Structure 1
C-alpha cells in the first residue's frame, strides 16, 4: 500500500490563508479531494493523510468531513489549541472520530523560539499522549533546541518531523541542520516525513543533486523504519509538480531493498499513524 503521508486541502479564503503571499499565487484557489484523487491514482498511491493548513477547529472538522466523503483519505492531522485550559475536554470530543490520527500547530510561524516548551503547550502534548494522538513537528531552525527538549520531556508521545525540518537547501547550508537531525533521531519515538523538499530549494532552478546530502543524512540517522514519503501537495506546486516531488525522492532509493521501499512509500505511515 502506497500512502502520501502529507498533503493539504482547502477552500481558498484570503483571510484564513493569509500565509499564501502574492509570490505563491498558484495556491490562491481551491484544492479539494477530487483535484488530488486522479493524481494519486496516476502515481499509484492508494491513499493519503490530510494535514491542517489553517489553525482553527473548523479546519479539523472540514478535513474530517472530506475524509468521510472520500475514502482514499485515510487519516487527518488536525489542529487544536494545545495551550487551552480545557484541552482535555477538547480532545475528548474527538475520541470517537477515528479518522483523526493526530494534531499539528504551525510552530514555524511562531517567533518565540521556546514555543514548544512553554508550560501550557507541554501540558497539551501530555494530553495528546493520553488520547493516543500523534504530533507533527513543523519547525524552523530557531525552534531546534526547544524541539529537542519537548521530545525529551514526552517519551511516550509519537512525534513526526515534517519536511525533514526544512533545511536551507537553496543556500546549501548543512551543518546546523544535520546536527539537529542527528540529535532528534536519537529519540525512538520520533519519525520523519521526507516531504516539502523542492520548496526549500531554488523554486525555478533546482536539480536532483541539490537534495542528495540532505536525504542521505535523514536515511542514515532515522533508518528505514522511521521515514515516510509526503508530497506536500499542493504547496509543492510552488516549485515542483506532483510527479517531480516523487522523482526527487525516488532517485535516491537505489540502495533500498524492495521491503524497505514498500515501508518508505506507505507501510511506515500506515503503522506510525495507525491508519
Structure 2
C-alpha cells in the first residue's frame, strides 16, 4: 500500500463540448455543468486539503460509450501529470473487444489505461452483465490485466454479484457505492446487497457520488453517515477509495464541500485507515505512481 502523504481522487470526468458532445448533459438539472471541464478546472476548484492532504493524482473516467473519447482521455493523461490512470470504454459485446483494448494500449497514452467501464445503469436487461457476448468481453479485459468499474443503480446489484461470482480473477470496483437511495433513507435492501458483493475479495468500492443521490440543496453529513458506516463495515478501509465525481458533484455542493464531508466521516479512523481511503486503495487498485500536489 502507498505510504505517501497525498490525496488521490479516484473518480472524475473531463469533457470538451466543442469537440465531443455529451448528450446526457441535455437532461434537465444539468445546466450548472453544461460547459467544458478540464484538468486545470479541477485544479482550480480542488483547493481544500482533506485530512491535511492535497490532491496529487486522479483517475479520469469515461462518460460516453465512445472509443474515440477513450483515446482522447489517454492522450490527455500522457500530457497532464495530474492524471495517473484512465477508466475507458470498449464495446464489451463485440467479438473484437480484445483487439480494441490492444489498440488502445499501444496508442498514445495507452499505458494509462487501467480499467474499462460500461454504463450498465442505463441498460434495461436485468442480466446485461451475464450476456454471453459481454462475458466474452470481460474475459478479454481480465486477460489483459485490466480492471472493471461497475456502474449500477441499487436495483441492479444481483447482476453485479453474479459478475463477481463468475469472474474471481477480474478486479472490480463499485462506482458511487452502487448509488444508495440517500434521499429517502431506505437503505436496508441496498445494505444487504452491498454486503453480498463485498463478500468477494476482488471487489473494491468508491466513496463517491453520494451527495448527488441525496437532496442536492439540503443534504448534511448526518444523511451520509449511515451509508459510510455500511461501506466501512462491508469493505473495510483497505477496499474503499475516495472519489469526487467532479464535475457532477457541482450539482450538490462541489469538490470542496464533498471533501469536507469525507473528512468529517473519517473522524475516528486511524492514520492507516485514513491513508487507505484517501490514497492507498486507489493507488494499489489502479497502479498509480506518485504525483505532485496541486498548487
Shorter-chain TM range is: over 0.9
1:159-216 alpha-carbon deviations (Å, 9 max, x no partner): 0000000001001111110011100000000000000011000011111100011100
CA contact (8 A) 1:228 1:269 kept: yes
String of CA shifts for 1:141-174, please: whole Å, max 9, x gaps: 3321111111110000000000000001001111
Task: Report the secondary structure of 1:147's partner residue.
Answer: helix
Matched residue, 1:147: 160
Of the three residues 22, 29, 32, the one matched with 2:35 is 29
Partner of 2:90: 80
Contact 2:47 2:256 in 1 (8 A): no
Secondary structure of residue in 1 paired with 2:111? coil
1:238 pairs, out of 251, 273, 281, with: 251
Say whether the 8 Å CA contact 1:225–1:263 is kept in structure 2.
yes
Determine which structure has greater relative contact order: mean sequence separation of CA pairs < 8 Å that are 6+ residues apart, divided by chain length: 2
1:265 is displaced (CA, Å) by: 0.5
Once residues 17 and 266 of structure 1 are traced to their aligned partners in structure 2, the CA distance between those partners, rounded to angstroms, is: 30
Q: Does 1:89 align with 2:99?
A: yes
TM-score in terms of structure 2 length: 0.90
How far apart are 1:103 and its partner, in Å? 0.5
For the pair 1:70 / 2:75, whether they are aligned, the reply is no
Counterpart in the other structure of 2:11: 6
Moved more, 260-269 or 10-19: 10-19
What's the CA shift for 1:76? 0.4
How far apart are 1:245 and its partner, in Å?
Answer: 0.9
2:141 & 2:259 partners in 1: Cα distance?
31
Distance 1:41 1:239, change over 3 A: closer
Q: CA deviation at 1:98?
A: 1.0
Match of 1:162 in 2: 175
**Which moves more between the two structures, 193-202 or 110-119?**
110-119
RMSD of aligned Cα (Å): 1.4
* Pairs within 5 Å for 1:194-273: 194-273=207-286
Which residue of the partner structure matches residue 61 of structure 1?
Answer: 71
Count of equivalent residues: 275
CA distance in 2, matches of 1:255, 1:262: 13
Match of 2:135?
Answer: 122
Runs of 5+ in structure 1 lacking a partner? none
Structure 2: give runs of 5+ residues left out of the alignment.
1-5, 289-295
Distance 1:42 1:169, change over 3 A: closer
Instruction: Please say if 1:17 is aligned against 2:22.
Output: yes
Alignment of 1:97-108 (within 5 A): 97-108=110-121
